[in-house]
Structure 1
Amino acid sequence: MANIILECSLGFLIYTYLLYPLIIWLMAKWFGKEITKRMPNQLPQITVVLCVYNSEKIIEARIRNIFALCYPTEKLNVIVVADGCTDNSCEKVQSLGLDNVKLVTYEKNHGKSYALSQALQNIETDLVLFSDVRQRFEEDVLQKMLPYFSDESIGAVTGNLLIEKSSGDPGLYWRYEKAIRKCESDYLSIVGVTGAIYMARTKLLPIFPTNVVLDDMYGPLSIIRQKYRVVYCEEAYAYDSGSLTLKEEFDRKVRTLAGNYQLFSLLPWTLNPFKNPVFFELFSHKICRLLVPYFMILTFISSALTNHWFGIFIFYSQLFFYGLTLLEYFFFYKKKGKTSFILSFIMLNLAALKAGLVYWIRPTSSLWKNH
């Protein structure tokens, strides 16, 4: 029995991290859907949405970055939703004196999903570009993303978030994730966007439920259900500084991974392969990742109980791997503040393990932090 459990659990892990990326790469190569990209002769009006909370130190620079884009200023509109700000964020926005910047404000902080819903009520353009206040855009992002919308099958386009600096090295794992995302996009659609940079057809966007954690999946999946594609533009860059500490990244991952459980309860059709056009991608990329830590535990226990040479090899390999993780944590992260792919991998799976407990024990609304 231990051998069977070991084979099944190890097979699940191999599928999640190796076979699925290979399968989706092959599907993109053999069955990928072409996109007709063309810059419109007459540039459309575009609205940029920023949802902010107590961002007085960076809001002015963020708005100036938007108007520094290579796009006619008179065709850019910015909506700033001040989500219960208690600092001088609103005053900073008003002091700019820009006619095409609209400030939406209210007293109580409700979270980003509520702020997005308030923004949607004020958008008058056919296209909307979403971002967060702490990131900045490359100047040509609109030239890179806008041509996708000449294809009527495209409902939304997400850009490429680059991490400029952090205490660790997210490079390898982040490149791995983006490679999978590109293959999913080339094949049909990605299941979630980067909240820091994505553009959508306004008419396709849903009204976000209050306190939904993963608005960057809720919106795209709602668009996909309307038979539109959500794709990835690798050449449209936004820049972020990344998390400062491993604990900060861990807490963020717990919150977002717990948000997956909430998403499935809000959109139960996503779990139905007959109703969800991207069920295969959602299951393989998102659901399997939530289950990985449980299969890692099964792999460890079953390999410890087997007498087969292969099981013994797997058991001692895991001991070495976890020992190396502890060594890196205490001697590299604790002393030098450096993280690695191994630490990031273990942190992510510990976060996935905790996320399930957090969702069922704590109210989901408590997962939201002021943004």
Structure 2
Amino acid sequence: MEIVLAASAGLVLYTYIGYGLLVWLLVRIRGRRQPIDTPAVFTPEVTLIIPAYNELAFLPYKVANSFAQLYPTDRLHFLFVTEGSTDGSDDFLRKAYGASIAVLGGDVRRGKVAAMNRAMQQVTTELVIFTDANTVLNPEAVQNLVNQFRDPKVGAVAGEKRILTNDSESAAGSGEGLYWKYESFLKRLDAELHTIVGAAGELFAIRTELYEPVETDTILDDFIISLRIAGQGYRVAYEPEAYAMERPSFSIIDEQKRKIRIAAGGFQSIVRLKYLLNPFRYGWLTFEYVSHRVMRWAIAPLCLPVIFLANGFLAVQAFLSPSIWAHGWSLLFMLQCGFYGAAWVGYGLEKKQLKWKTLFVPFYFTFMNACILAGLMRYLKGAQSGTWEKVRRADEIRV
């Protein structure tokens, strides 16, 4: 039982701490990547694709934010995908902006991925950038993403996702923001070592010719698209100076639904990308993919209950042992109980919309892993749909 506990704890520590330290060390040993020497002016034609299902309230701000990009206007095209919207988004965009943007509408709701597959059939530009309708981009986002494609080995570029929280924000919002800061740090390291393993749908770019139609029931289309491009032998670069800003989820219940859906999509992705688990063919990509994604989705969450139960067994046995060492298991078990107790209190306060940031680390860590386990159950039951779902956010940001 001690071996089970030690092995499980080791896997969790490697997933959340050890991998980052190891990649940081490898990058330091090898040195930073050297920039590609190319002409200063680099402005290939780009299409900005904005999926916008029932986003009428935010569309004026998203269009204004898109038009404000510091990129040559004759080289940047806009395609809003409003398919299936019932809030008048289609009519609003056509009447308000006319020929300055393209709109892919329709009454039939086939789902986000099916709509994206249709949208890509209309693209004639060299590069495509995907961004969500409820996010705000910094003015240099397009140009900074495009600059990464100076390197012919780069097939996709991920921007940075930033969660905007304020001093009175909920624990879930604060935890989400901290999580994405840590994710951004790991992505910088992954990109320096070889490639990042999965772009965030809020903002990422690809070479149009590398796009492969995605199965329409896919949940994490951004992850699948970017990893399949990496599987073709291209790097997925990371550009932290191109960022998409959004507010945290409206409530803990909304965040819970979102995370369970993402987790179910993670297990779906692992099955569909199982060929990437071959280190003899994919080398560094397999190492990064397994360490950063597979272990976080499929290994660490399963280890946590094993650690708790194994520790509980050893703590009970400690009462029957005269050894001082054995009582260390009791202390460790008490610390675990305290950690999860704090997480439970944090969850209860969050449901009542009460603020106590001291608890958000144990709360968000436990909450995130519990959602992954719930997502696994949903995936195994086949209860997850690929239909486009709109997520409620806290008070929207404006441009």
TM-score (norm: length of structure 1): 0.94
- The residue aligned with 2:327 is 309
Most deviating of 342-351 and 161-170: 161-170
Question: Does residue 319 of the first structure (1) align with residue 334 of the second (2)?
Answer: no
SS at match of 2:155: strand
What are the ranges of 5 or more consecutive residues in structure 1 without an aligned counterpart? none
Alignment equivalent of 2:238, drawn from 232, 235, 238: 232
Aligned residue identity for 1:85 = S
- The residue aligned with 1:348 is 368
- Show CA shifts across 1:84-140 (max 9, x none): 111210111101234241111222212211111011101000011110100011111
Aligned length: 370
Aligned residue identity for 2:71 = Y
Aligned-pair CA distance for 1:251: 1.1
Verify the 8 A CA contact 1:84 1:109 in the aligned structure 2: yes
- The residue aligned with 2:15 is 16
Question: Does residue 30 of the first structure (1) align with residue 29 of the second (2)?
Answer: yes
- The residue aligned with 1:362 is 382
Alignment equivalent of 1:285, drawn from 283, 292, 297: 292
- The residue aligned with 2:307 is 299
Change in 2 beyond 3 A, CA 1:304/1:58? same
- Partner Cα separation in structure 1 for residue 248 and residue 39 of structure 2: 32
Alignment equivalent of 1:274, drawn from 280, 293, 303: 280
- Partner Cα separation in structure 2 for residue 187 and residue 35 of structure 1: 14
- The residue aligned with 1:219 is 225
* Structure 1 segment 1-371 matched on structure 2, within 5 A: 2-31=1-30, 33-36=33-36, 38=38, 41=41, 43-165=43-165, 167=170, 168-169=173-174, 170-277=176-283, 278-290=285-297, 291-306=299-314, 307=318, 308-331=326-349, 334=352, 336-337=354-355, 340-365=360-385, 369-370=389-390
- Partner Cα separation in structure 2 for residue 240 and residue 258 of structure 1: 23
- Partner Cα separation in structure 2 for residue 246 and residue 215 of structure 1: 24
Change in 2 beyond 3 A, CA 1:366/1:79? closer
- Show CA shifts across 1:196-224 (max 9, x none): 11111111111111021111111111111
Verify the 8 A CA contact 1:40 1:147 in the aligned structure 2: no
Aligned residue identity for 2:380 = W
Verify the 8 A CA contact 1:37 1:147 in the aligned structure 2: no
TM-score (norm: length of structure 2): 0.87
Aligned residue identity for 1:188 = H
SS at match of 2:149: helix
Percent identity over the alignment is: 29
Verify the 8 A CA contact 1:153 1:229 in the aligned structure 2: yes
Aligned residue identity for 1:268 = K
Aligned-pair CA distance for 1:364: 3.3
What are the ranges of 5 or more consecutive residues in structure 2 without an aligned counterpart? 319-325, 392-399
Aligned-pair CA distance for 1:370: 4.5
Change in 2 beyond 3 A, CA 1:107/1:81? same
Change in 2 beyond 3 A, CA 1:364/1:332? closer
Aligned-pair CA distance for 1:362: 2.9
Aligned-pair CA distance for 1:335: 5.0
SS at match of 1:56: coil
Aligned residue identity for 2:222 = D
Verify the 8 A CA contact 1:130 1:196 in the aligned structure 2: yes
Change in 2 beyond 3 A, CA 1:133/1:273? same
Verify the 8 A CA contact 1:24 1:183 in the aligned structure 2: yes
Verify the 8 A CA contact 1:159 1:197 in the aligned structure 2: yes
Aligned-pair CA distance for 1:311: 2.2
Aligned-pair CA distance for 1:266: 2.4
Aligned-pair CA distance for 1:326: 2.4
Verify the 8 A CA contact 1:9 1:298 in the aligned structure 2: yes
- Show CA shifts across 1:36-91 (max 9, x none): 26565352221000112112211122112111111122221111112211121011
Verify the 8 A CA contact 1:29 1:187 in the aligned structure 2: no
Verify the 8 A CA contact 2:53 2:84 in the aligned structure 1: yes
Aligned residue identity for 2:110 = H
